[in-house]
Amino acid sequence: MENKVLGIISYDGSKFSGMQIQPDKKTVQGEIQKALIKLNINSSIQHAGRTDTGVHALNQVISFNVPKFWEINKLQKSLNKILHPYIHIKKLSITDDNFHPRFNAKKRSYRYILTPHFSPHTADYTTFYPKVINIELLKKALKTLEGKHDFEYFAKTGSEVNNYIREIYETKIFNYRGKTIIKIIGNGFLRGQIRIIIDFLLKINENKLSLKDLELQLNKKKLINKHLAAPNGLYLERIWY
C-alpha cells in the first residue's frame, strides 16, 4: 500500500538543466527520483510546471507515491540529506490520491529580479541590467497584459498545448533594496512566456519597442519580438490550490 505525498521544494536553477527530466542532463526531477531510488522508493514524480535551465524556484510543488510505512518527517530529512545543497524540500505532507500539482493549480506567481550592480557572486541569481528603469512606463505595459488573452505570440516555438489562452490576474513592478522586482500572477503560463514578456518590457524601457507594439503582438496583429530574457533573474514564486 502507498500514500501520495505532496512536496513543496526550492532549488537553485543555475545548477540544473531545468525541472523536467531529460536524458543525459542533470535536472531537478531527475535528482529527486535518484534520491528516492537510494531510499528504495521507485516512484515517478509529477510537478507543477517545468522551469527552464537556470530558472529558480522558491515553492515548486511536486507529488509522488511512497510505501505507507514511511514516516513523512523522516522521509523529508532523508531526502534533504541526499539532495543538499541545491535542492531543498521545505514541506512534505500526505495528499489525496487524485491530486496533481499541475492540473489542480489555481494560480501561480513568478518574480523577476533585475540589478544595476554586477557581482560574480549574484550573477546566477539576478539579471544584470545597468540602465535606468522607467517604472511608470513599465507599469502601463504590465497593465496591458492583465486579463484573459491569447498569448501564442508570447510562447516558445514548439509549445505543445491545446490553446494559448491564459489569464494574468495581477502585475507589479517596484524597487527593493537597490533592485527592481517584476511580479506576475496568472492562472498558468506558457513555455517561455514570462521571459518573453520581460524581454519585451526591457525593450520598451529602452525605447526600442513601444506600448503600441506590445498591444499589436498581444492581439496577434504582428509578431514583433519573441526573444527570451536571461533565465537567472526568474523565480517560480508560489502556486495556489
Q: Give the active site residues.
A: 52
**CB 215, CB 144: distance < 8 Å:** yes
Q: Which of 154, 234, 230 is nearest to 196 (CA)?
A: 154
Q: Which residues contact 208 (CB under 8 A, 6 or more apart)?
A: none
| Distance, CA of 149 to CA of 93 (rounded, Å) | 35
**CB 95, CB 181: distance < 8 Å:** no
Q: What DSSP character marks residue 228? A: P
**Nine cell digits for residue 80:** 534533504
Beta bridge partners of 148: 167
| Four-point Cα dihedral 187, 14, 116, 195, nearest 10 | -30
Q: Alpha helices, DSSP H only, in the chain?
A: 28-38, 72-83, 135-145, 193-205, 211-218
